[in-house]
Amino acid sequence: MSNFFCADNSRKQGEELIGTATNNQTYILIECPQPWMSSAFHSKWVPENLSVLVKECKKAELPIRFLLIANNISHKVDSTTLLIYESNKGLGNGYSKREFKLENIEQAATTIKKWLKGKPSRYEVSTDITRDFLICTHGSHDKCCARYGGRFYFHASNKITEMGLKNVRIWKSSHFGGHRFAPTMIDLPDGRYYGKLDLNSFQSILTRSGEIENLIKVYRGWGFLPRPIQVLERELMLVHGWDWFNYKVEAKILKESPDGCIFQARLSFEKPDESLHTFKAKLVKDDFKSITLQAACNATEKITCAKYSVASLTLTSSQSATCVA
């Protein structure tokens, strides 16, 4: 199986990407030089107090996804970037960012603990950065992320430089799921996931332009929403086009069948003019699209990846801006 690449296999089998974004309430991103071990927080440059904190948060089942990040100069900078992205409650369009500029990575654990307790930190800073792209390049976790993620990071970095974008950052990231879709990416602060990327699709995402239908091949879903609802969000995105990315959304699973094959869901969205629209949908497991495959390069067994389709969609309410006001 040494020549097996899970990303190649997923492409060969025509696996659909939608519904594979991880639903996380909070991302905590710590800049840490590479290389990273397969279990990222056991890596050489990760201090013991940070490794312990990650374990404690996991044990307490806090809804936090910890990731290591780096760029081409992380190994020689004299400071450490710490980013905390926390999801907005109710109607929202992603996550709110807080950024900290630490003297070294040893200060990360104490700074995170202060944040968890709601206490201010002298290391918090304001920046002009409006977007952070995370590209999984965690090759020690899965070789597809080295083979495809590393190469894509190089070309995407050059594209951002070529376009002269000063308010956008791109990071190498430790594993955040879906290496069979490498190169895979999270776009923060909105929290949308993408996979099987190339430079054309990346530029479209970067500039939010071009044919919205082209996203079907690369869009994994919005991590701001539960996985079954992500296919519904994509359908509405295709209807509203790039304007959809400026809408505030709130969604909830109302009912789930015992076998997990059918979901009843509600999704509301608010346009910039403050008009509010609510839909109810029936989401069903799509046996035609569901697929059984080896989900990772080093996996010993195949798994069935369930895919869902929108069986019905009903507009239940629509309030104009005047009514909302």
Q: Round to whole Å and give the CA distance between 109 and 7.
A: 34
- Domain made up of 6-217: CATH architecture: 3-Layer(aba) Sandwich (3.40)
3-state SS, residue 234: helix
- Of the candidates 68, 130, 74, 133, the residue with the CA atom closest to the CA atom of residue 97: 130
Cα→Cα distances 168→4, 128, 129, 163, Å? 35, 9, 6, 11
Q: Which sign does the torsion angle of CA 210, 276, 20, 289 carry? A: negative
Q: What is the pLDDT along the chain (325 residues), one digit of tens a residue?
A: 468 888 888 889 989 999 999 999 999 999 999 999 999 999 999 999 999 999 999 999 999 999 999 998 888 888 999 999 999 888 999 999 999 999 999 999 999 999 999 999 999 999 999 999 999 998 888 788 888 999 999 999 999 999 999 999 999 999 998 889 989 999 999 999 999 999 999 999 999 999 999 999 999 999 999 999 999 999 999 999 999 999 999 999 999 999 999 999 999 999 999 999 999 999 999 998 988 888 888 888 888 888 999 999 999 988 876 554 4
What are residue 253's DSSP bridge partners? 265
- Cis preceding-peptide flag for 226 (omega within 30 of 0): no
Give the pTM: 0.94
* Domain locations in the chain as residue ranges: 6-217, 226-324
Q: Round to whole Å and give the CA distance between 241 and 236.
A: 8
